[in-house]
Amino acid sequence: MTTSHSDGLSRRLVLGALAAMPALPGLLGATAAEAQTEAPLPSWNDGPAKRAILDFVRDTTDPSSKEFVPPEERIAEFDQDGTLWVEHPVYTQIVYCLDHVGDLVKARPELKNRQPFKTVLSGDREAIAKLSMRDFFEIVLGTQSGMDVETFREDVRKWLTGAKHPRWDRLYTDLVYQPMIEVLNFMRANGYRTFIATGGSGGFVGEYSEKVYGIPPQQVAGTEQAFKYGYDKDHRPILTREPKLVLDNLEAGKIQNFWMIYQRRPYAAFGNSSSDDQQMLEYVKAGSGARLSVAVLHDDAKREYAYGPAQGLPNTSVGTFSQEMYDIAKKQGWIVVSMRDDWKRIFAFEQA
């Protein structure tokens, strides 16, 4: 017991003082300009979703509230694909991997006639979009294995500066949802630590998460491959990515892995997919005190996409929001965000 500690009051004073300072992303993440010069969540239309988020943050940070949560327990978790950025027509990390399948089969020609690589090499976009999550991860393990972890970092960084989404002809990192960026900043400005729990690889998402979301790579929990310790030709130690899953967020492991790595039940969780987010949202909402579970419904074909059974549309492998999850959300008191109705704008590059 040798470190000294501020009490709740001095913590709040410090947070207040920080709000009057220049931005400190990655540490507290809030930009002072946002915190001070405009009302929170400006890209959100007034409505029950926006009100629920504002009320939750007020109730859990006001020391006189019976639902006050001490700063060290303020944890908020965010799914990435379909919750923080566009996931259609196919997850961005899968696009990265598809771009590397050519190199992979050059190195290992025996894969040419093996599924799912054969489908990818056919170039048949419809068939590719119909591959299962397990097929996708087969491609991830194939294309992301065998190299040193630092070589992988460099390759991801380079790819991100060039690859563009076909619909908008913009970098993938431009296709983040502005209303959600405002939620991240608003929660951090109120003492929340923000985390990503993703079906993607932490080593992929971590290359842009701090710059794009203000979330450092250490706060990104992904589906993770094994790493092997060894030595390169100059006898320097290296870590090599291996084609073996260790932590699996693809289906229902997200909350288990989140707890394993970060040791707490979040107070707030945001997701959109029945396969990997549903248990997380249920578990968070079931905690004691005020808890916020938010599910993003993709119902805006004009400005983004509309998909999932809750939209009366058939499921694809990419993102699901089943009618069952919709019914559970209503029954358990989650907030369902309608992209069409709740969001004034979707991307920062749109006219407000």
Q: Binders of its own copies among 143-202, rule CB under 8 A?
A: 149-150, 171, 173-174, 176, 178, 181, 184-185, 193, 195, 202
* Helices (H), ranges, 144-286: 149-160, 178-189, 202-205, 209-213, 254-262, 278-285
Q: Which of residues 199-238 bind its own copies (CB under 8 A)?
A: 202-203, 206, 210-214, 216-221, 224-229, 236-237
Distance CA 124, CA 141 (A): 21
Q: Count residues contacting its own copies (CB under 8 A)? A: 78
Among 64, 161, 263, 351, binds its own copies (CB under 8 A): 263
Question: Nearest CA to 250 among 81, 77, 75?
Answer: 81
Longest CA pairwise span in the chain (Å) = 66
Site for its own copies in 68-87 (CB under 8 A): 71-72, 75
- Of 128 and 294, which has the nearer Cβ to its own copies? 294
Task: Tell the smallest beta-carbon distance from residue 190 to its own copies (Å).
Answer: 13
Part in contact with its own copies (CB under 8 A); list of ranges 51-59, 275-283, 315-323, 336-344 = 275-283
Which of these, 142, 145, 140, 148, lies nearest to 240 by C-alpha position? 148
Q: How far apart are CA 17 and CA 193, in angstroms?
A: 18
Looking at the Cβ atoms of 236 and 302, the one nearer to its own copies is: 236
Q: Where are the beta strands (DSSP E) in the chain?
A: 75-78, 164-165, 170-171, 193-197, 220-221, 224-231, 237-247, 268-271, 292-297, 335-338
Q: What letter represents residue 183's amino acid?
A: V
Q: Is position 14 an interface residue for its own copies (rule: CB under 8 A)? A: yes
Each residue 301-320 as x (binds its own copies by CB under 8 A) or -, in order, gives --------------------
Stretch 88-147 residues interacting with its own copies (CB under 8 A)? none
Closer CB to its own copies, 102 or 289, in the complex: 289
